[in-house]
């Protein structure tokens, strides 16, 4: 069976954008692929972290994956730092990757900003760690969004360079798994900004742990305009907040924006929001309730991560041994 590797940062405060943009897709992929899902805590420390918060966030993200429906018996769920092969392979790949390749990585430029000289080596080199994450398991497919395509291309370049340098077909070329038009969920207060936990207003986002009342309040207060819903997506031009709510409804209901417009065209936003509240509550409240239950049982989450790491290591260690043999390491 084809194998997927995908990672998620332990950012904490999972919200609707995380669910529709990634987690829900992972749930659906588990019936089609051998899936390895990793909470990438080594990537997280490329930025300053409070150790206590990092541990809590790692558990919260793992709980979110479990609550959303990922089966740890059928899939591997673990946190990256439990399998030392990630760091070991990353160093070996650092000795294969070229500075010119890393210099082209746009995310480093965005995250380092004007203070590039003060950025850590870890932030600069984290694309090679990302490559190691994928290649350590000889993953055949990687779910990618628009902002991750460049990193997968780098992974393929590194894999090809390694195979060529040592004249051995150690690594396969992982293929991008394009999941169609991924839901890009925007702020409920500003349709030009992505939904984010860093935005000050709680009304800008729907957290996965929000209860029914909080979800209803946030949707009712979501910014819209005075016009009714359009009968087609042609009428959404320049109406960012309207387009966002229609996109959220469509993603939750597995409908296209055109289908949503056909269903609700010419209706008022108050009527549409009432329908959106019912839909969002039916999908999200059970996930939030399970996340809260798991938050009160951290030992269970830790056991899932520990067992997942053992299973991940069973795949990773033979690959790392093969790499060491090829490169001449005793």
Which residues are known to be catalytic?
111, 194, 197
Left, alpha or beta for 123 (phi > 0: left; psi -120 to 50: alpha)? alpha
Separation in Å, CA 75 to CA 39, 81, 145, 187, 280: 14, 18, 22, 32, 27
| Assigned token pair, 166 | 């040592």
In whole angstroms, give the CA distance from residue 86 to residue 117: 26
**SS3 per residue for 108-174:** HHHHHCCCHHHCCHHHHHHHHHHHHHHHCCCCCEEECCHHHHHHHHHHHHHHHHHHHHCCCCCCCCC
């Amino acid at each position: 069976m084809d194998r997927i590797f995908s990672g998620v940062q332990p950012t904490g405060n999972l919200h609707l954008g995380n669910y529709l943009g990634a987690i829900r897709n992972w749930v659906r992929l588990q019936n089609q692929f051998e899936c390895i899902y990793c909470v990438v805590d080594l990537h997280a420390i490329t930025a300053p972290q409070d150790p206590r918060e990092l541990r809590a966030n790692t558990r919260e993200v793992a709980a979110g994956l479990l609550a959303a429906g990922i089966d740890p018996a059928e899939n591997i769920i673990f946190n990256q730092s439990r399998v030392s092969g990630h760091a070991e392979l990353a160093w070996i790949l650092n000795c294969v990757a070229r500075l010119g390749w890393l210099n082209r990585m746009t995310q480093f430029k965005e995250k380092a900003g004007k203070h590039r000289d003060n950025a850590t080596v870890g932030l600069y080199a984290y694309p090679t760690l990302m490559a190691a994450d994928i290649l350590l398991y000889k993953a055949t497919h990687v779910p990618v969004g628009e902002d991750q395509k460049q990193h997968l291309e780098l992974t393929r370049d590194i894999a090809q360079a390694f195979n060529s340098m040592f004249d051995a077909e150690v690594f396969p070329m992982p293929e991008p798994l394009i999941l169609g038009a991924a839901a890009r969920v925007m702020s409920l207060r500003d349709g030009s900004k992505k939904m984010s936990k860093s935005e000050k207003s709680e009304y800008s986002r729907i957290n996965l742990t929000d209860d029914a009342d909080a979800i209803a309040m946030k949707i009712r207060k979501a910014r819209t305009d005075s016009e009714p819903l359009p009968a087609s997506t042609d009428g959404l031009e320049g109406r960012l907040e309207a387009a966002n709510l229609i996109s959220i409804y469509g993603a939750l209901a597995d409908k296209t924006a055109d289908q949503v417009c056909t269903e609700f065209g010419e209706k008022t936003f108050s009527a549409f929001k009432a329908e959106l509240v019912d839909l969002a509550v039916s999908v999200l409240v059970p996930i939030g309730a399970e996340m809260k239950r798991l938050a009160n049982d951290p030992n269970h989450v830790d056991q899932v991560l520990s067992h997942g790491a053992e299973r991940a290591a069973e795949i990773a260690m033979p690959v790392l041994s093969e790499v060491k043999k090829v490169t001449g390491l005793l």
